[in-house]
Amino acid sequence: MAKSLAELASPYLHGLAPYTPGKPIEEVEREFGITGAIKLASNENPLGPSPLALRALREALPEAHRYPDGGGYFLKARLAARLGLTPDHLVLGNGCNEVLELMARAFLLAGDEVVIADPAFVIYGMLAHLQGCTTIRVPLKAWTHDLEAMAKAVTPRTKMVFVGNPNNPTGTAVGPTELTAFMDALPAEVIVVIDEAYIEYVPQEMIPDSLTYVRQGRWAIVLRTFSKIYGLAGLRIGYGMAPPSIVELLERIRAPFNVNALAQRAALAALEDEHHVTNSRMFNELGKAYLSSELHRLGLQFPPSVTNFLLIDVNRDGRVVADALLRMGVIVRPLGGAHLKTHIRVTIGTPPENERFIDALRSVLQKGSHQQSAISRQGKS
Ligand SMILES: *Cc1c(COP(=O)(O)O)cnc(C)c1O
């Protein structure tokens, strides 16, 4: 009897479903026959890329027939200088998602344990599962990583611990004191992945000096990306910062030209545009204040966010609410899972986008409550 394709595939593929990203705007418009849809589903920067990055892209286009600089020489040099590291502390990835993948492939073996918060960024669990690891999930405490409990969950079989800081999908962060205590409590041979995809949105006094651990040679990697505040999600570029001993191992498995030439040029230019970053942060704070007060007015709860998104408890099936919003051309992210069935995650947009979201949400919730009261009346009669 010939084997089925599923039998030929890695056994760890069985429990996996593809990652479901937020729907692209064009797809939603086509599906529902509408125009002017807005996307608040993937935590992109609503102001777009920096104008300096756009100019760099235009200038780089004629060189598109050349392979990129496989070592990312200029970008690594620039990042190293900014961060007080040397280029051999840096690994560039096709989004920091690729760096997560490299870490998993380089270090995670079948039977290893991995400690993750619950809920956390779903990719951590998927990668661990794919390597045949056992995932230990530690519930959040007050919507934030319970680092004490995570340290206690470590056993002699624990290979890696993931800390999303800030955490996606809750938008919360741990501060310097908690992170230091956590790092001190962990056995030295446990590898710590600190995912700082949203760190540029966090108030300065709350940002842990995670690079200290990298400089000290601790087995830790800190991840950052150009996809979020830098507005370059479509180009796919992010990076990891780790002791050279870790970087050297990742370099062995990294695909030769994993980060394209346009992405490298745009990232370099985006780093120089302090104004765009400051402006993005300011717009985000304004949008967050507006959304917070409107959501309170609607009687909805959400954890305090230090990022560019909010996790909103809509008090009814989040998927139903997200689908209803979709039909009105507002794309948000339903979450589901064990804890978040009644939640949606919404990216903070431009002021008109935020207003449009609130108007649509208000109308969906009103319709929903009419329907619910109609159902309960029916039930009684
Ligand atoms: C968006 C995101 C990333 C991935 O970003 P890319 O650099 O685009 O791959 C990583 N971690 C978290 C928590 C994110 O939300």
Residue closest via CA to ligand 1's atom 14 equals 197
Sign of CA pseudo-dihedral 106, 337, 151, 197? positive
378 pLDDT band, cuts 50/70/90, is low
Structure tokens at 218: 């601790």
99 in Cβ contact with 250 (< 8 Å): yes
Average pLDDT over residues 143-163: 98
Q: Are residues 307 and 291 in the same domain?
A: yes
**For residue 109, what is the domain's CATH number?**
3.40.640.10
In the predicted model, is pLDDT for residue 92 greater than 70? Answer: yes
Write out pLDDT tens, residues 2-13. 888 888 988 888
Structure tokens at 270: 């985006």
Domain span holding position 165: 52-272
Residue 381 within a domain: no
Q: Are residues 263 and 307 in the same domain?
A: no
Average pLDDT over residues 22-46: 92
Ligand 1 neighbourhood includes 225 CB (under 6 angstroms): yes
Which is the closest atom of ligand 1 to the Cα of 195?
Answer: 11
Ligand 1 neighbourhood includes 208 CB (under 6 angstroms): no
Which is the closest atom of ligand 1 to the Cα of 164?
Answer: 13
Write out pLDDT tens, residues 210-252. 999 999 999 999 999 999 999 999 999 999 999 999 999 999 9
Sign of CA pseudo-dihedral 277, 147, 131, 102? positive
Q: Are residues 268 and 306 in the same domain?
A: no
Strand order in the sheet with 340-347: 309-313, 340-347, 333-336
Alpha-carbon Rg for the chain, nearest whole angstrom, is 22
* Average pLDDT value over all residues in the chain: 95
Average pLDDT over residues 73-94: 98
Residue 33 alpha carbon to ligand 1 centre in Å: 31
Please give the pLDDT value at position 18. Answer: 80
Q: What residues does 91 pair with on adjacent strands?
A: 240
241 in Cβ contact with 76 (< 8 Å): no
The residue among 367 and 84 whose pLDDT is bigger is 84
DSSP states along 128-175: HHHTTPEEEEEE-BTTB--HHHHHHT--TTEEEEEEESS-TTT-----
Q: Are residues 56 and 167 in the same domain?
A: yes
Residue closest via CA to ligand 1's atom 15 equals 168
Q: Are residues 205 and 348 in the same domain?
A: no
In the predicted model, is pLDDT for residue 376 greater than 70? Answer: no
Residue 380 within a domain: no
Structure tokens at 336: 């589901």
Which is the closest atom of ligand 1 to the Cα of 225?
Answer: 7
**Residue 231, phi-psi category: left (phi > 0), alpha (psi -120 to 50), beta (remainder):** left
**For residue 293, what is the domain's CATH number?**
3.90.1150.10
Alpha-helix runs per DSSP H in the chain: 5-8, 25-32, 51-60, 73-83, 96-107, 122-130, 147-152, 176-185, 211-216, 244-253, 261-272, 274-297, 318-327, 351-380
Please give the pLDDT value at position 305. Answer: 98
Q: Are residues 204 and 286 in the same domain?
A: no
123 in Cβ contact with 130 (< 8 Å): no
Q: Are residues 296 and 224 in the same domain?
A: no
Q: Are residues 19 and 39 in the same domain?
A: yes
Please give the pLDDT value at position 373. Answer: 60
Write out pLDDT tens, residues 269-297. 999 999 999 999 999 999 999 999 999 99
The residue among 32 and 262 whose pLDDT is bigger is 262
The preferred substitution site among 170, 227, 309 for testing ligand 1, maximizing ligand atoms within 8 Å of CB, is 227
Residue 379 within a domain: no
377 pLDDT band, cuts 50/70/90, is low
Please give the pLDDT value at position 361. Answer: 98
* pLDDT more than 70, % of the chain: 97
253 in Cβ contact with 105 (< 8 Å): yes
Q: Are residues 198 and 284 in the same domain?
A: no
Q: Are residues 112 and 180 in the same domain?
A: yes
Ligand 1 neighbourhood includes 280 CB (under 6 angstroms): no
Ligand 1 neighbourhood includes 97 CB (under 6 angstroms): yes
In the predicted model, is pLDDT for residue 371 greater than 90? Answer: no
Residue 284 alpha carbon to ligand 1 centre in Å: 18
In the predicted model, is pLDDT for residue 381 greater than 60? Answer: no
Distance between first and last Cα of the chain:
59
- Domain end residue (candidates: 272, 292, 318): 272
Ligand 1 neighbourhood includes 172 CB (under 6 angstroms): no
Residue closest via CA to ligand 1's atom 6 equals 95
- Domain end residue (candidates: 242, 272, 302): 272
Residue 204 within a domain: yes
Residue 43 alpha carbon to ligand 1 centre in Å: 9
Q: Are residues 141 and 267 in the same domain?
A: yes
In the predicted model, is pLDDT for residue 380 greater than 50? Answer: no
360 pLDDT band, cuts 50/70/90, is very high
- Domain end residue (candidates: 272, 290, 312): 272
Q: State the greatest distance between any 2 C-alpha atoms of the chain, in Å, as a whole number.
A: 73
Counted domains in the chain:
2
